[in-house]
Homo-oligomer: A and B are copies of this chain.
Amino acid sequence: MRIGFIGLGQMGRGMALRLIERGHSLSVWNRSREATALLAAQGARIASEPAGTLDADIVISMLADDAAVHSVWLASGLAPSAPATSLHVNMASIGLGLAAQLSESHRRGGSAYVSAPVFGRPEAAAKGELDIVAAGPQAALARCTSVFEALGRRWFDLGPDPRHANIVKIARNFVLATIIESLGEAFALVQKSGVAPKDFLDIITATAMSAPAYRNYGRMMLEKPAQPTFSLRLGLKDVELALAAAAESAVPLPSASLLREQHIAAIAHGYGDKDWAELGNWIAERAGCPR
């Protein structure tokens, strides 16, 4: 399949390489050129502008945040001018308002749009082990199957409205953030009461909380990854997407507000570029039991 790929950050790079491995033909674009060398070495064509990727069966974009998506696809006029045959599959986590705008822009220009955000870190992206939640016109989704199979362990069809995939991703990452926060608080509590957080983690992940999220984030909290693959600052971005979506439909989200405050306080103490899991270590520090 001929695939355009826009955005070669930590996630996008792994995904693009994976698609090449699986035999797809890629033309890629990235704001900075360095990131493209690796892809060129694997046979990808390097486009000099985003529009250079549109001549493809599917164009995947994996940009950093709402501002980047807005600038590349909307402010530039790329979305409405995409050929009627093209299909934009946006796999980044974006806000609901922007998803609606993108969908509408493509629709007006005659092209198709699918929101397909993913669960998983760069390690999973590189191995094709993401979980994908996708929504958009059913014909468009059907065209994505081989891409989703290359990139994901599993994918979920959320129906025709692209925003529905985004809200599931946003709500899921909000739940993930509550896991990090609650583990951080619980670890501080048991530690100051004389129990090793590791023992506590082993017990709860052997019983009712036996889920990867608890195991992985608990472990990272205690091991402090030397190379963060998802920073606390990015975690805050996700919490803010949840707060924005909630405000839009007047849903109180008190846990998200608390999370936002905790992230900001952690950033004020130098944790912004540490791994998201280390929010728990800031909590420990604040409780007077630094690790």
- Which A residues are within 8 Å of any B CB, using their own CB? 96, 119, 131, 133, 154, 156, 158, 161, 163-164, 167-168, 170-172, 174-176, 178-179, 181-183, 185-186, 188-190, 192-195, 199-200, 203-204, 206-214, 216, 242, 245-258, 260-262, 264-265, 267-269, 283, 286-289
Contacts and interface: CB of A to CB of B under 8 A. Distances in A.
Given A172-B207, A174-B189, A254-B254, 10 more contacts: A164-B193, A167-B190, A172-B186, A175-B183, A175-B209, A178-B179, A182-B255, A252-B262, A254-B262, A286-B286
B168 A203 contact: yes
What copy number does this chain have within its complex? 4
Given A189-B167, A286-B268, A252 B246 contact: no
Residue from the set A163, A168, A170, A262 with the largest chain B CB neighbour count within 10 Å: A168
Contact of A192 (B207, B242, B251): B251
Contacts of A174: 182, 185-186, 189
A287 B185 contact: no
Contacts of A214: 211
A269 B287 CA distance: 8
Nearest to A265: B252
27 contacts: A119-B208, A131-B203, A156-B206, A164-B193, A164-B194, A168-B200, A168-B203, A171-B200, A172-B200, A175-B183, A176-B209, A188-B251, A189-B246, A189-B251, A192-B251, A207-B212, A208-B212, A210-B212, A211-B211, A211-B214, A250-B264, A252-B261, A252-B283, A255-B255, A257-B260, A258-B258, A265-B287
